[in-house]
Amino acid sequence: MIEARPLQNILEAMSSKNDASLALVSKAYEFAKEAHKDQKRFSGDPYFTHPAEVAFLLAQAGMCPEAISAGLVHDTIEDAGTKPKAIEQEFGPEVLSLVEGVTKLGTLRYRGLERHTESLRKLFAATAKDIRVLIIKLMDRLHNARTLEHVPRAEKRARIAQETLEIYAPIADRLGMSVAKQELEDAAFPFAYPKEYEKTRELMKERKNENEKRLEKVEKDLKRALAEAGLREFRTEARIKGLYSLFRKLERKHWDIGKIYDIRALRIIFPTVADCYTALGVIHGEWRPVPGKIKDYIAFPKPNGYQSIHTTVYTGDGSALEMQLRTEAMHREAQYGIASHLSYKETQGGTAQGSRGGLEWIRQFLPAWRRGAGKDVGVGPSGSISVPAWVKELARADTAAEGASEEYLDTLKSDFFSHRVFVFTPKGDVIDLPLSATPIDFAYAVHSDLGNRMSGARVNGKLVSLDTPLRNGDMVEIVTKPPGRPTRKWHDIAKTSMAKKHIRAALATQQKKR
Ligand code: MN
């Protein structure tokens, strides 16, 4: 049996250390510990080990004290019968709203329907009224994925693992949270694809030693070359590719591991952007670069905000090695993404690149918004960033970062909900429909046959008329008592062209029969 992570660990990991912040988190720690005191995890460990670990992950990611506190008490309403009122009294409305958001997300279920996966990702993003809810949920899942081996049924383990790979890891990726993404993937991989996991692990093991030796030599040569060029202030870090990510790449390369050059990469972290470009010159003077492998994500960040210069060089022993050059601020951003600048107001950390990262992420989810608001941060319709605008953006990034999270939130809500509604089948599948869609549209979106046999509909358990506009989160059940059949009126009520098309076809068939 393991002990819960001590409060001290969480407090030390926090980026905001004023008295009020520390007091709030300490109080939440004791509150959750008490609330879960009689409960156990599947592993037999005290239940409290889970929220304590979630809070620690949130603190490490640089989240604010309210989010860390919410992480501590996130399961108390559902699993310990704590009243929402009590949480509000103890910790205020902000913490309560975060906890309620996380609880609500927990009720959504992934059913493995390919075509609904993207909808579900969007629903997750939209349902979380506050982006912090999404991050708490990600860390909740990360700890649950890490302890997946203890979940009793194999079937359930596989479902959680699939859901983690299909829904949570892509969300972490879009939030730029690469550490969380890789950990989610690698925790879930063995349970989702056991055979492929073993095969990948074997291949990785074979290559590990030779890679390590080579890396050491290159690193030594690199340090010498950089020092000769006058670059002395930097640190290096070896990056090992995650097993799941390696597996995906192996699939694309027909399982030829010799074709994968970035199993290990060398990160070199400098104080300034100028150092990165100088170092690139030094590196290319020392080793021959692999053509087509030089990527300047500093001038042209990835859609999720990622910034670094990548180059792969021939290391003279018949092999090649990827190097990634970045600043400390870019490094933090690359690891923790959006989370790293939600709480950075206080600590003045280098957030120069931060705000843009988040905006880019939202743009991926919201194509319409991309066309509108993209202009004032210098992003063209294609999402590419022109250099002058980028420079301008850097100059005003400090102030931009402040309102950034609120900006995401507003955009997420207004743009997202103004165009689509997401409703559920009784099994929990998500159906994505245009605004003011009706049960008729829903039925035809599920299956044309269901539409044609429909006689009525229940929304959230209540019988409704067929012209009732559906709202986000409604659970819709189609009643098929004979003689259900489409009418001309249905055609007028329906909002989607798919429903109208099927109704016309059905009406034409009825006509012929007569
Ligand atoms: Mn939980």
What is the CB-side half-sphere exposure of residue 271 using CA atoms within 13 A?
3
Q: Which two tokens stand for residue 321?
A: 């090695």
Q: What is the mean pLDDT of residues 43-72?
A: 94
Per-residue model confidence (pLDDT) at position 262: 83
Per-residue model confidence (pLDDT) at position 192: 94
Instruction: Enumerate long-range contacts of 90-93, CB under 8 Å, 24 or more apart.
Output: 90/27, 90/28, 90/31, 91/24, 91/27, 91/28, 91/31, 91/66, 92/66
Q: How far does the centroid of ligand 1 lie from the alpha carbon of residue 51, in Å?
A: 6
User: Which pTM value belongs to this model?
Assistant: 0.66
Per-residue model confidence (pLDDT) at position 247: 96
Token pair 């165009």 is at which residue?
419
Q: How far does the centroid of ligand 1 lie from the alpha carbon of residue 276, in Å?
A: 41
Percent of the chain's residues with pLDDT above 90: 51
More confident residue, 368 or 233: 233
DSSP 429-469: -EEEEETT--HHHHHHHH-HHHHHT--EEEETTEEE-TTPP
Per-residue model confidence (pLDDT) at position 218: 92
* Residue type, position 167, single letter: I
Per-residue model confidence (pLDDT) at position 32: 97
Q: What is the mean pLDDT of residues 202-209?
A: 83
Q: What is the mean pLDDT of residues 335-359?
A: 47
pLDDT at 353 over 60: no
Q: Are 98 and 66 in contact (CB under 8 A)?
A: yes
Q: What is the pLDDT of residues 220-236, one digit of tens each?
A: 999 999 999 999 999 99
Per-residue model confidence (pLDDT) at position 337: 78
Q: Of the candidates 409, 445, 405, 410, which has an alpha carbon nearest to the alpha carbon of residue 425?
A: 445
Q: Which two tokens stand for residue 373?
A: 């608001």
Q: How far does the centroid of ligand 1 lie from the alpha carbon of residue 78, in Å?
A: 9
Per-residue model confidence (pLDDT) at position 129: 56
Among 12-16, 173-177, 424-428, 507-511, whose mean pLDDT is lowest? Answer: 424-428
Q: How far does the centroid of ligand 1 lie from the alpha carbon of residue 140, in Å?
A: 5
Chain-wide mean pLDDT for the chain?
80
Q: What is the mean pLDDT of residues 437-441?
A: 95
113 band by pLDDT with thresholds 50, 70 and 90? very low
Q: How far does the centroid of ligand 1 lie from the alpha carbon of residue 41, in Å?
A: 10
Sheet holding 295-296, edge to edge: 235-240, 264-270, 320-327, 309-314, 295-296
Among 45, 79, 296, 398, the active-site one is 79
Q: Which two tokens stand for residue 371?
A: 């066309």
Q: Of the candidates 355, 357, 354, 338, which has an alpha carbon nearest to the alpha carbon of residue 177?
A: 338
- Give the list of residues 6+ apart from residue 397 with CB closer than 8 angstroms, or none: 351, 352, 353, 354, 355, 356
Per-residue model confidence (pLDDT) at position 166: 82
Q: What is the pLDDT of residues 237-288, one digit of tens each?
A: 988 899 999 999 999 999 998 888 888 899 999 999 999 999 999 999 999 9
Q: How far does the centroid of ligand 1 lie from the alpha carbon of residue 74, in Å?
A: 6
Q: How far does the centroid of ligand 1 lie from the alpha carbon of residue 113, in Å?
A: 24
Q: How far does the centroid of ligand 1 lie from the alpha carbon of residue 53, in Å?
A: 10
Residue 320 CA to residue 317 CA, distance in Å, equals 8
pLDDT at 351 over 80: no
Q: How far does the centroid of ligand 1 lie from the alpha carbon of residue 387, in Å?
A: 43
Burial of 387 (0-12, 13-18, 19+ CB in 10 A): exposed
Helix (H) or strand (E) holding 310: strand 309-314
pLDDT at 398 over 70: no
Per-residue model confidence (pLDDT) at position 167: 80
Q: How far does the centroid of ligand 1 lie from the alpha carbon of residue 67, in Å?
A: 14
Residue 165 CA to residue 72 CA, distance in Å, equals 25
Residue 357 CA to residue 305 CA, distance in Å, equals 3
Domains, in order of start, for the chain: 7-179 (1.10.3210.10), 194-334 (3.30.460.10), 419-513 (3.10.20.30)
pLDDT at 405 over 50: no
Q: How far does the centroid of ligand 1 lie from the alpha carbon of residue 143, in Å?
A: 8
Q: Are 310 and 326 in contact (CB under 8 A)?
A: no
Q: How far does the centroid of ligand 1 lie from the alpha carbon of residue 102, in Å?
A: 9
pLDDT at 370 over 60: no
Look up 78 and say whether it is catalytic. Answer: yes
Q: How far does the centroid of ligand 1 lie from the alpha carbon of residue 451, in Å?
A: 39
More confident residue, 399 or 80: 80
Q: What are phi and psi of 393, to 5 degrees?
A: -60, -45
Q: How far does the centroid of ligand 1 lie from the alpha carbon of residue 504, in Å?
A: 48
71 band by pLDDT with thresholds 50, 70 and 90? very high
Among 12, 34, 78, 198, the active-site one is 78
Q: What is the pLDDT of residues 466-514, one digit of tens each?
A: 999 998 767 899 999 877 789 999 999 999 888 999 999 999 988 888 7
From residue 421, how far is each of 113, 258, 474 by CA, in Å? 18, 47, 9
DSSP 238-304: EEEPPHHHHHHHHHHTTT-GGG---SEEEEEEESSHHHHHHHHHHHHHHSPBPTT--EETTTS--TT
